[in-house]
Each structure stands twice: as C-alpha cells, then as structure tokens.
Amino acid sequence: MIDRNRLGAWVRRFLLEYLVAERNLSHNTQISYRDTLTLLLPFVSRRASVAIDHLSVLDISPAIVRAFLEHVEHERGCGIVTRNQRLCAIHSLGRFIAMRSPEHLAWCTEIRSIPFKKTTQAVIHYLDKPEVEALLRAPNRATSQGARDYAILLFLYNTGARADEAACLSVGNLQLGTSPSVRILGKGNKWRVCPLWAVTATALRPLIVERRTEDRVFIGRTGNPMTRFGMYRVVSVYGRAAGKWVDSMQGRRISPHTIRHTTAVHLLRAGVDINTIRAWLGHVSLDTTHIYAEVDLEMKAKALACLDVTNVPEAMRLRPNSASLMAFMRGL
C-alpha cells in the first residue's frame, strides 16, 4: 500500500507525470520547478531533522516555507521575482498533492495562502529603428560566421522568437519558398507559424543547404547546434559593436529578449492588432501582450512593410526513480 504521507513519492509523480504529461510545461519551467525542490527539500530536512527520503508531506509546513523564502531572498541573495518563482513551484506541488489526496486539502490551503510579494513592473527595453539597423550592420556577412550571425539577428527581429526557440529551430520547420514562413515550437509545446520577410529567407537559405530536415538550423563553430546561451552571446557581442555607430547603444545590455520586445513594439507601432501580436509572439495570456501597449502609446498607422530591412548596408568587419530523492532530481 502506498504511504500517502511520504513526500518522496509525491515529488517523483509531480516532476515526471504532472509537469510533463498533464501540464505540458516547457522544459525550462520543468527545470525551474525541479531546482526549487532541490533547494527546498534539504532546507526542510535540516529544519525538521528528518532525512530527505523520510520526509512527510506535513514536514513542509507553512512556517518552514516562509523561512525558506526568507532564506532565498536574504541568504541566497535572490530578488523578489526569483522568490515568487520558488513559491509558485511550491504552490503547484501543494495543489497537485491535494487534488489526489483530499486528506491533505487543509495543508494545501495553508501552503497556498502564503502570498506572493508585489513587484514593480519591469521596464521593457527595446530598440528604435536606427538601433536595429546598426545591430544588423554589425556582422561581417563576407564570412561564414558573420553570415550566420546576421541570419540569427534578422530571424530574431523578424519573428520575435525566444532564444531557446531559435536555438531549437530545425531545418524542417522552415518554408523558404514563394511565401516564406517558419513553424516555431514555443512554451507548453505549442506551435505557431510566423511569416518571414524575403530578406530573412535569403539569409537563412545558405545555412540549410544539403541539411537534413531534423538538423538544427544554427550551428556553432564546433559543428554542434547552438544553445540559447550561444544566442545570448551573439546578440550581446553585436549589441556592443553597434554602439560604434549609435551612441544610444553604448553601454547597453542587448539580449535576444530585447529584440523580442523590439519586435512587439514595432508591430504595435505599425498598427498590427494586439491579438495578432499575441499569436506572433506565442503568448498564452493576452495580458502579457498588453504590456507592450503600455510601453509606447504613440500608435502609428503604418503597414507591416515599414519594418522591412532589405536595404540595410553592410559595414566593415568587427573583430528514472533512484534510491535517493536528491539523486533522482539531479538526474532529470
């Protein structure tokens, strides 16, 4: 008979069944939830003086959760956003257990009553048109690496893709014929289709010559597929280089998400309706997309073609179950 009070069995089911099969959460979210529990369980074990593999559900008391959140903020030096992310994972675990074990409903109610901290709305950083043009001028397209990097920057701006989405892009997801488009696998394993400019298709074609449909589009210098960290590096390097031409970019940190914000704001200014932008970016909630409407209220009735970057000139070259619960989670 299964001990419904033993925490370890619930954690395994939560990570392997609930997050993956039922919630269909993105890989990064799954990792975040796993990391939260990897931090939480040793903390609870120390406070309760019970070995991790012998912890019960009730050992995760509201008082210990609050102490853990204080530990995250003040001892680990994390911000409020990270603190709230950790709490969200704990709330989710509590709900999962209570839905399948009614005797834990009161415990779950107490856990889920622990509130999130309010945060100030993050400032949305984006690039103006001259700044985008400077960024796209930076790669030396005469070299294979520069041509690849130019294609990455252009693809990110055209689609508003997240770094991970661009890194995981496969050759078979591209349609570069008369009506170029791309299928992007986003959060929650949901697909969306974005149109591609002709100039974007032209930049991508050399990267997929004689490549298999399952191959990744963007390959690193070692011959291995690029990661999202590689995407961040590419954007950061050329963001700094663009500061040579545009003073407003000097000292700024430019990331793939900066380009994603830029795509959203430029589409909004071009008169594209908010629902189309939501589908374009792959947002689950329309509330997320509405943030961009608050960034810049100056709506301009321009066609989407105003974002065309065909004539951007080139510039000169710039340099399974385990015996130990902790071992199980580390192995995911």
Local confidence band at 292 (pLDDT 50, 70, 90 cut-offs): low
State residue 27's pLDDT score: 81
Asked whether residue 268 is domain-assigned, the answer is yes
187 catalytic residue (yes or no): yes
Asked whether residue 72 is domain-assigned, the answer is yes
Asked whether residue 82 is domain-assigned, the answer is yes
260 catalytic residue (yes or no): yes
What tens digit of pLDDT does each residue of 22-76 get? 888 878 889 999 999 999 999 999 999 999 999 999 999 999 999 999 999 999 9
Return the higher-pLDDT residue of 303 and 283: 283
Q: Do 279 and 209 belong to one domain?
A: yes
- Among 79, 101, 120, where does a domain finish? 120
CATH at 58: 1.10.150
150 catalytic residue (yes or no): no
Asked whether residue 332 is domain-assigned, the answer is no
Residue 122 has pLDDT above 70, yes or no: no
What tens digit of pLDDT does each residue of 207-254 get? 999 999 999 999 999 999 999 999 999 999 999 999 989 999 998 999
| Beta strands in the chain, from DSSP E residues, in sequence order | 174-175, 181-185, 191-195
State residue 69's pLDDT score: 97
Q: Do 52 and 109 belong to one domain?
A: yes
Q: Do 31 and 160 belong to one domain?
A: no
Q: Which two tokens stand for residue 255?
A: 């990331």
Local confidence band at 301 (pLDDT 50, 70, 90 cut-offs): very low
Percent of the chain with pLDDT over 70: 86
Asked whether residue 211 is domain-assigned, the answer is yes
State residue 1's pLDDT score: 43
Asked whether residue 61 is domain-assigned, the answer is yes
How many separate domains does the chain show?
2
State residue 212's pLDDT score: 95
- 10 Å CB burial of residue 215 (0-12, 13-18, 19+) is middle
Q: Do 143 and 113 belong to one domain?
A: no
Local confidence band at 20 (pLDDT 50, 70, 90 cut-offs): confident
Query: Who's near 311: CB < 8 A, 6+ residues apart?
Result: none
What's the whole-number average pLDDT of the chain? 88
Q: Do 181 and 246 belong to one domain?
A: yes
Q: Do 104 and 170 belong to one domain?
A: no
Q: Do 167 and 191 belong to one domain?
A: yes
Find the catalytic residue in 137, 148, 260, 278.
260
Q: Do 255 and 303 belong to one domain?
A: yes
Find the catalytic residue in 83, 162, 269, 278.
162
Q: Do 148 and 288 belong to one domain?
A: yes
Residue 4 has pLDDT above 60, yes or no: yes
CA distance 207 to 203: 8
CATH at 218: 1.10.443.10
Quick one: three-class SS letters along 127-163? CCHHHHHHHHHCCCCCCHHHHHHHHHHHHHHHHCCCH
**Range 100-119 average pLDDT:** 94
- Among 70, 91, 120, where does a domain finish? 120
**Range 249-269 average pLDDT:** 92
- Among 95, 120, 145, where does a domain finish? 120
What tens digit of pLDDT does each residue of 128-172 get? 999 999 999 999 999 999 999 999 999 999 999 999 999 999 999
Asked whether residue 312 is domain-assigned, the answer is no
Q: Do 169 and 277 belong to one domain?
A: yes
112 catalytic residue (yes or no): no
Residue 279 has pLDDT above 80, yes or no: yes
91 catalytic residue (yes or no): no
Asked whether residue 1 is domain-assigned, the answer is no
Where in the sequence is the domain holding 109, given as residue range(s)?
7-120
State residue 277's pLDDT score: 87
State residue 50's pLDDT score: 94
Note the residue count of the chain.
332
Q: Do 237 and 197 belong to one domain?
A: yes
Q: Do 115 and 133 belong to one domain?
A: no
